[in-house]
Each structure stands twice: as structure tokens, then as C-alpha cells.
Amino acid sequence: MGMAAEASLNHSMDIAVQHYSSLFRLPSHRKVLFFLAVLCVGGGFFSVVLVSPSLWQSGICLGFGLFTLSFLADYFTNLFFIKKDTIFDLRRTLALSLFGWGAWFFFTLLGVLIGLAFGFSWSVRLCLLGFSAAMILRLLVFSSTTLMGYTRLLASSFFQPLLSVIPFVVFWTYVGYPFRSYMLLFFAVSFAVSVVAPFAFLFLVNRVGEKALGMPPMSLFKAFMLNWVLNLNAPFEELLEKLGEQRDIKASLLKFDTAKGKVALVVPSVHPGPFRNVGSSVLPSLLKSSIEKELGCIVSVPHGLLGHEFDLVSQAENRKIVSSVAEALRDLDVFDVKVSPFVKVTNGIATACCQVFGDSAFMSFTLAPKTIEDLPDELGCFVRQEASKHGLNLCAVVNAHNSIDREVEMLDSLDALKDVAVRCFEKVVSIERLSLSVGSATVLPKEFSLEDGMGAGGITAVVIGSGERKTVYVVIDGNNMVSGLREKILASLCSMGFDDGEVFTTDTHAVSALVLRSHGYHAIGELMDNKKLIDYIKTAAAEAKVNMGTARFSCCEITVPNVKVIGGKQLESLCILIEKALHRAKMSAVALFTFSGLLLMLLLLLV
């Protein structure tokens, strides 16, 4: 996949994550209850006082009656109808009623204003139209987000509006509004419309996905909701399993043994996405923690070159990678002791860093201080061919993924990346190999959370000594880094006596779709205190230097067969499907709900 295709896929994925992250978080239970009370009491009061100020006491009674019955209806709905539902607890049910009341009072107060000019009957008519809107909204939300049967679905949707309309009817009777038999006809038709309209809407939206991927978009939405609300990844991963394709996955491994401990660098050809805890999003920290526990070593997992098309579909596929890497590292014998000095080449656009360990190379790329996102496998193939020309049997290729300024200009950078790779190889292979020493350390900053952009893997520093020169590689478990921070980190490390180094992020998507912003995540250094971050990095580097010892090493590349990834074509289709479904939803909503409103309004003219 080339740079243009990679950029297109990343753009599609960013849009999908943006829609995902727009699933806002609801206020606390206490705040929802407070807002509901204010809306019901205030709405009931003003709907009476604006018509007849002398009836202000009736307005207060109406408002408190609406709030009390609405709360009791939701309480019993949760107690009897949706007790076992995984998403809707009482807080979310009350929040749904809050939005329902928002729609209901919009029509009610509009009716009051119209009624001041054309008669009280318009207040009644538009209030009943709001009642229908609330029923439609509740059924639409419940049917979109839950797996309830039809009986419980209808009961959950209609019980609260039906109970809440009683205070209005009592008030209208109190002021002498003449009820006609058409009122009963309206309730019957309103019930029918409130059932047909939401299901027709869902049918039209689902048709988009069934034609494109054989998958209804509302199934995706329900899986999104379960992940968003309960952090459940299985429902969404089941859908990805249906879309995925089998691939053989490679991983480059570097293992170091010293008297003070073992160190491993693992570069899997897997993209750590698509978001949160779904698929391979947590793979970098999972590899690190699992292998450290199993083998008793410090593990660092920088980002490879591949993009979202190599997202794994499930945790089962993650376990395949972890198991294969752990087994390979356990069986890998170390024997080499010579390493080249660290070489860095830049051409003003791209920068390549390289060290040669025996007959294997470790090379990284960055476009810092410009934005660097996912790089295509085309670059990896080119680098491996160049390595072979220089007699190197293996080359672990890393995307430093360490600069983002929100202005992505990567389409013309491939030639520049290839240029620095060629020059870097020419320089590094001509340098004398020196004795190797290695040290490593990990720091887990407690005050930096996933929402801040820091994954569970924390900060790992690996110091490579070649003769008297010391190079430090810093790997931060995050998704990219604010532009300019890399340079500050490297300057601070040089002030500690290190000769050079590079800063990587793992590109973990465990931090994605957690915050309300365009990309759905905070890059390293965007929200967190940069001084504290650099202090943590310096602590890890200093500890790694203390842990240094003469080392032996070995490198290998393994292949994990039959691993299911999402695939570029399927992933882009999935992202585009979300856009198409949203477009169809907007079109269908306007048509269906406008027609439903007009039909009910015509009937209300008889009331």
C-alpha cells in the first residue's frame, strides 16, 4: 500500500474514530436527576403561567407531578422491563427521559405561544405532538442500543410517556377543556406511528450496510455502545472476525543478555488499532507485560511500518502474536558481541537512524518536526532490499511516530525516506564494530492516564553502548507526540552525557476514542506536563545507564501464520459505511419524522 492509499485509509479511520469519540459521556446520576427536575418543574410551570398567570399554583403542581411520575416510570422501567440490560441503568434511562422531555416541552411551549394567538386548543395539540415525539425517541434509542424482545422494548419505550401525560390530561380537565372521542383515536394512531416510524428508520439505515458489507450498521452501533459504556470488546471483535482476512505476520526480535538482566526489542508487523481495547490496540503494552512476566526481562515494543489494514481483529489473535514472540525469544541463543556506533542521517525532510548488530540492522525513520503518521510497507521492502545489498541478513524497521502538528503532509516524503535509508546504510556498514554494552529501565508515570495519552506500557529506555559511545532509545506507550517535543527530549538526554538517541511512540490505540476531539486522542505531550514527562524520561534513561553491562545478543525474524487482520479494503469499506449510514440516517429522519409529524398534526386538528 503506497503513501496516498495509506493517507486515504488513515483519513477514513480518523473520521470513524471521530464519530466514535462523539458518543458523549452523560452527567452523573445526581446531575441528571437535577436537570430532569428543573426541566419538568420549570416546563410544567411555564406552560401554565404563560397561558394564565393566575393559575401559577396549578403550574407548580403540574411540574412536580410530571417530575414525580416521570421518575417513578423510569424507576419501574429499570426494575421490571430492562433490569438485565447491560447498557441502560437508571442514570441512562433518566437521561433518555431528559432528552425526551426536551423534545416534549419544545412542542408544548411552542403550542402555548401559538395558543396565545389562536386559542388554548393549540396548546393541547402541540403538547400531544410532543408526547408522540417522546415515544418515538425512546423506541428509536432502545431499539438501536439494546437486544430486548419486542414486548419489553415497547413497554420500556411507552410506559414513561403514557404515565407522564396523565398530569397534562388532569390539568386540561381542570380548566374545562372539552375532550372529544377523537382524542382516543389520536392516542391509537400515535401509538401506531410511534412504532412504525422508528422501525422504518432502522430498516432504511440497515439496508445501506447489508448491501455494502452484508452487515447492518445498527449492529456496529450496538457494538460501539457496548464498548463505550461497558468497555466490552467482544461484540465489536465478533463483527471484525466476519470481515477479517488471514495473513502471515512477521516480527523482528533483538535479544540482549547481560550480567544484570535481559533486554528485548520487539518490532511486530502489526498495527496497534483500531481503538480503545478492540483488536490489537493494546498489543504493545500486552507484549511488554506478558513477555516481561514470562521471561523476566525488560521489553520494548516500538512501532513498525504498517497501517490500519494490519489491525488484528481480536484478543485471540493478540495471544497468537504474544505466544509466538515469547517462544522465539526463549529459544533464541545469544552469541554476538559487536555493534556499530549509532548513525543518524537527515536530508531536511526525513531522518533515519541505524545501528548494526552483527549481520542485522535496526533502522528507524521520522519526519520530525513535521507530522509523521503510518508509513507504507513499500518503504519496508525497499529498506530490506538495501540491507541485503550490504550483506545484512535482517533489518528491523521502525516508524518513530514521534511528531504531529495536525498538518499531514506525507504524500511526497517517500523519496526522502528512501534517500536517507540508502545514505544511512552506506555510512553505518563502513564503520568499525565495537564492543557492546546494554542497559534498560521502565518507568510507569502514575499521573498520566489513557485520557492524557499514556498507555499502560509507560516509558522504556534502552541504552546501547558501542565502545565508549552511549546511545539511548526511548519508547513511550502513546499515539504520536506533539511537534517539537522530540527535540526537547533529545537535548535533555544529551545534557545527561548520552551521545545521541531517538524517541519512539508505540502508536497504541488504547488511548483513542476516549476524548472529544478531532482525532479522538491526545498525543504525547499535548495534555500532560512536558517538564514532568521529560523528568520521567530522564529517570528511565539514568536507571538504564546504571543497569548497563557487557552484553551478548542475537537477532531473528519470525513468522506467525494464519493471523486474522482487518485488511485495508474491508477497513476502508467499514469506515465509509459509517459515513454512508449517517447520511442515510439524516435523510431518512427528515423524511419519516416530518411525515409522521404532519400525519399526527392533521389528526390533532380534530382534537
Does the pLDDT value for residue 462 go beyond 80?
yes
Average pLDDT over residues 273-286: 93
- Alpha-helix residue ranges (DSSP H) falling in 213-314: 217-230, 234-243, 283-295
* Structure confidence at residue 4 (pLDDT): 46
Query: Is residue 535 pLDDT above 50, yes or no?
Result: yes
Model pLDDT, residue 389: 96
Mean of pLDDT values over 355-377: 93
328-360 per-position pLDDT tens digit: 999 999 888 899 999 999 999 999 999 999 999
Render pLDDT for 142-178 as a digit per residue (tens, 0 to 9).
998 888 889 999 999 999 999 999 999 999 999 888 8
Q: What is the pTM of this model?
A: 0.84
pLDDT band at 531 (very low <50, low <70, confident <90, very high): very high
Evaluate whether 545 touches 517 at the Cβ level (below 8 Å).
no
**Once rounded to an integer, what is the mean pLDDT over residues 462-482?**
97
Contact 104, 41 (CB under 8 A): no
Rounded Cα–Cα distance for residues 185 and 62 (Å): 25
Helix (H, G, I), strand (E, B) or coil at 65: helix
pLDDT at 15: 55
- Residue 12 CA to residue 134 CA, distance in Å, equals 34
Q: What is the mean pLDDT of the chain?
A: 90
Q: Please answer whether residues 98 and 39 qualify as being in contact, where contact means their C-beta atoms are separated by less than 8 angstroms.
A: yes
Which of 530, 96, 442, 326 lies closest to 522 in space, CA to CA?
Answer: 530
pLDDT confidence tier of residue 427, bands split at 50, 70 and 90: very high
CA distances from 578 to 19, 103, 532, 572 (A): 8, 26, 39, 10
The predicted structure's pLDDT at residue 406: 62
pLDDT of residue 5: 47
Enumerate the β-bridge partners of residue 159: none
| Percent of the chain topping pLDDT 90 | 70
299: which residues sit within 8 A by CB, 6+ positions away? Answer: 263, 264, 265, 266, 287, 288, 291, 292, 460
| pLDDT at position 518 | 60
* Domain edges within the chain: 28-227+576-604, 247-565
Residue 183, number of CB atoms within 10 A of its CB: 18
What is the number of helices (H) and of strands (E) in the chain? 16, 13
Question: Is the predicted pLDDT of residue 408 greater than 80, yes or no?
Answer: no
Q: What is the dihedral of CA 108, 112, 114, 116, to 10 degrees?
A: 170
534 alpha-carbon distance from chain centroid: 26
Nearest-angstrom CA–CA distance, 61 and 39: 14
Bridge partner list, 471: 464, 500
- Among residues 379, 362, 389, the alpha carbon closest in space to that of 419 is found at 379
State percent of the chain over pLDDT 70. 94
CA dist., res. 223 & res. 279, Å (int)? 13
411 pLDDT band, cuts 50/70/90, is low
At residue 495, the pLDDT reads: 96
Confidence of residue 138 (pLDDT cuts 50, 70, 90): very high
Phi, psi (rounded to 5 degrees) for 263? -135, 140
